[in-house]
Chains A and B, each alone.
Chain A
């Protein structure tokens, strides 16, 4: 076989330590990684956060994040060793031979410049492609990416295009320098499922047509199975295993890979008796932020002891609906009824009892916990406020709650930044339960977590429901999760309810159009899923 394009041998990366501080030991981020990538091959890197995926991606450009250093091993790119290469050599290589597509396109583009000038920046710097030719090629690339009005697209500013378009523009930017190697770092993670499928299809097509090699970094096996020839599974900075995609999906060698493949969703229990009693209902709600109306005529109802899932893409108004229920955003029209009684739309007008009855768990536990309070204070406070417990009684209760969410009780004196993402979310759940609520609203509680951790949280929530009989409102974009745990489903789009009913009627054919789009866009862990879905859609489009 020909010389590999990218080769890493025993690559080690560790945190940079000030030599003056003897009490700080460097932490190893990568513990000896071997990697080989041939031309026109796509290697998928997969693993949970902190596995070192992105660090490997950046090391392929001879770069380590601030505070890290390449401490051992070799990185060979097209006959050049990058770890010992000078900054000038690296500058020549970056953009020209290897290009990077980051997760958040919105953060990667400069809002003050037009898209075309940013896409062409790399060819201007390296001056290796004639400017007129480069501009023409950029427009071709825009066209290839399926961007609207390719000639005119480059004259827009980043805020004038959608997130999916921006992600495609960034891929075009990476391709503008005609690199041999592309590094995709979670390029579709921040996108809605319906947008993700388009971007994914385009990335796959472009890689195949240009014959460039690619590293594809993601935590979603379903996604990587669609684009990668081989998959390398990583954990704690070490390789777990590497196999051809089809072989890995069919016969994983390691237990960890098997766990990743079998993220079976926890599923809800059978029906209870008193489940037809309405606990919370919203009737014909309109709501607006200032002059911009975001909810139109929304009516939903939650039955006691059940789980109501509200699904939709970003911008569909599902989180706004949660804010309306909590009283943070008084609706301009409509009525909120709790246990048969109308309650005040504004938070200020609600009694302590009605504030206690509905608690909320947020998507990002990092910003939902005060970094300067201990876990004990965070969990204990709602118990003090709502149950009138003394400080020491609240402390005891916090311990009990920690135990309930499967965390060690000695965690009570720690601060949030000493916990992992999954532990933080468990603390947030414990805090919500501390008030002994009847209803808990979960706003995308698992979407910031790794699949295995997310599964643990989902199981915990279901177990708590059986034990405490709380009712849930689950706000999510994840159809697989809805299918697993919901009793009733509300599908929202652009601030309106497009379909609602018991789960079975939503998930059984015939589907409503938009619901079908959402369901079919969720990546499945098998090769050829992407092509199959696109094929089906083309046929449907031709049929209409």
Chain B
């Protein structure tokens, strides 16, 4: 672990600190804080005080409690959606690269078609058809994000597929499972891990955007995007309430990006010294 840390640059270590701090706050914080995120504890849009460090929101709930609970919701949904995207995109990408031919053609064209629509608009259409339940939300986000995962995996796996050890495995008559898990996946994992971080950030932004538009996480549950919307009126009173959840999202995104950049740099260095 210390070896791993020493291979990361200062920015990446800072990013790691931010991400770990954020995760600790949203998963442990709600147990420590004396208020629940749904409980009305004071007047509307009250300024920060000793009792309510960040003040209260549009119906008088503690803002800090809501940001912590909302952050947790955003992290969980983004994580599940990203896992879903990889579960769809990675196997399809590898199989496309190995098989080529009609399979590759069909999958690639479907992905092209999906990517031709702006993501948010496609999400709006699909969600209005499926309804805004949590499983529907996860499904839509996974499918949308999987297109990019598919493209990346296919590109990286195509490099691997051109290697002679793949040809040798083909000559042995191996099945697709062997190609997938034994020949290709171990070689593309480093690239995919960093991509996982990036996709996670985009998923967090997507779910926040959807919630802001009112078709994401439904009240009374808190999530960062929904909170920006709920509290948007406070801007006219010069209060910070809508800015703070957005800031929390930004901090998470910056932290992850710093880590991912550091990892990419480290991978590039490793390649150099091979």
A, B bound: yes
Task: List the interface of chain A (C-beta within 8 A of B).
Answer: 20-21, 23, 66-67, 326-328, 347, 352, 355, 359-360, 362, 364, 367-373, 381-382, 385-386, 417, 431
Contact A67 B273 (CB under 8 A): yes
What's the A-B contact tally at a CB cutoff of 8 Å? 52
Contact B173 A372 (CB under 8 A): no
From 253 to 271 in chain B, residues with beta carbon under 8 angstroms from any chain A beta carbon are none
Chain B residues closer than 8 Å to A327, beta-carbon distance: 171
B182 part of interface (Cβ distance < 8 Å):
yes
In the bound complex, do residue A66 and residue B163 qualify as a contact, i.e. CB atoms below 8 Å apart?
no
A20-B6, A21-B6 known; A369+B165 contact, CB < 8 A = yes
A373 adjacent to B182 (CB under 8 Å): yes
Those of B153-205 within 8 Å (CB) of chain A: 163-165, 167-168, 170-174, 182-183, 186-187
Is B272 located at the chain interface by the 8 A CB criterion? yes
Query: Are A367 and B165 in touch, CB under 8 angstroms?
Result: yes
Contact assessment for B164 and A355 in the assembled complex, using a CB-CB cutoff below 8 Å:
no
Beta-carbon contact of A382 and B164 below 8 Å: no
Taking the complex as formed, is B274 at the interface, i.e. its CB lies under 8 A from any CB of chain A? yes
A385 touches B174 (CB 8 A): yes
Q: Which residue of B lies closest to A66 (CB)?
A: B272
Is B274 in contact with A328, judged by CB distance below 8 angstroms?
no
Chain B, interface residues (CB within 8 Å), range: 20 to 34
Would A385 and B187 be within 8 Å (CB), given that A364-B164, A368-B164, A368-B165 are in contact? Answer: no
- Given the known interface contacts A67-B273, A385-B173, A385-B174, the answer about A360 and B168 at a Cβ–Cβ threshold of 8 Å is yes
Which 8 A/B pairs are nearest by Cβ-Cβ distance?
Answer: A372-B186, A368-B164, A370-B165, A367-B163, A367-B164, A385-B172, A362-B164, A372-B187
Chain B residues contacting A431 (CB-CB under 8 Å) are: 168
> If the complex has contacts A67-B272, A355-B173, A386-B172, are A328 and B164 also in contact, measured as CB distance less than 8 A?
no
A67 to B271, CA, bound (A): 12
Please give me the residue from chain B that is nearest to A365 by CB atom. B164
Residues B1-48 near A (CB distance < 8 A): 3, 6-7
Indicate if the CB atoms of A328 and B167 lie closer than 8 Å: yes
* Chain B contacts for A386, CB-based, 8 A: 172
Give the nearest-CB partner of A348 in chain B.
Answer: B173
Q: A21-B6, A66-B272 are in contact. Are A352 and B165 (CB under 8 A)?
A: no
CB distance from A442 to the nearest CB of B (A): 14
Task: Give every chain B residue within 8 A of A347 (Cβ-Cβ).
Answer: 170-171, 173
Q: Which residues of A are found within 8 Å of B7, using beta-carbon distances?
A: 21
Residues of B with C-beta under 8 A to A372: 186-187
Give chain B residues whose Cβ lies under 8 Å from the Cβ of A328.
167, 170-171
Q: For residue A467, give the distance in angstroms from its CB to the closest CB of chain B.
A: 23
Considering the complex, give the chain A residue whose CB is closest to the CB of B160: A370
Contact of A370 among B3, B170, B187, B272 (CB under 8 A): B187
Minimal beta-carbon separation of A266 from chain B (angstroms): 26
Query: Are A382's CB and B172's CB within 8 A?
Result: yes
Which residue of chain A is the closest to B7 with respect to CB atoms? A21
**Which residues from A are CB-within-8-Å of B274?**
417
| A364: chain B residues within 8 A (beta carbon) | 164
**Distance in angstroms between the alpha carbons of A362 and B167 in the assembled complex:** 11
Q: A20-B6, A21-B6 are in contact. Are A368 and B171 (CB under 8 A)?
A: no
Distance between B138 CB and nearest chain A CB, rounded to angstroms: 31
> What is the CA–CA distance of A15 and B167 in the complex, to the nearest angstrom?
35
Q: Which residue of A lies closest to B186 (CB)?
A: A372
**Closest partner residue, chain A, to B168 (CB atom):** A368
Q: Are B171 and A360 in contact (CB under 8 A)?
A: yes
State A352–B175 Cα separation when bound (angstroms).
13
How far in angstroms is the closest Cβ of chain B from A345? 15
Shortest Cβ gap from B33 to chain A (Å): 39
Q: List 12 A-B contacts (CB under 8 A).
A: A21-B6, A21-B7, A66-B272, A326-B171, A327-B171, A328-B167, A328-B171, A355-B172, A360-B171, A367-B165, A368-B163, A370-B165
Q: Which chain A residues border B172 with CB–CB below 8 Å?
A: 355, 381-382, 385-386
Asked if B183 and A370 make an inter-chain contact with CB atoms under 8 angstroms apart, the answer reads yes
Q: Which residues of B contact A21 (CB under 8 A)?
A: 6-7
- The complex places the Cα of A403 from the Cα of B214 at a distance, in Å, of 69
Q: In the complex, A364 Cα to B6 Cα: how many Å? A: 35
CB distance from A17 to the nearest CB of B (A): 11
CA distance A362 to B163 in the complex (A): 11
Min C-beta distance of B269 to chain A, whole Å: 9
Select the residue from B168, B170, B173, B183 with max chain A CB neighbours within 10 A.
B168
In the complex the two chains form, what is the Cα distance from A466 to B164 in whole Å?
Answer: 28
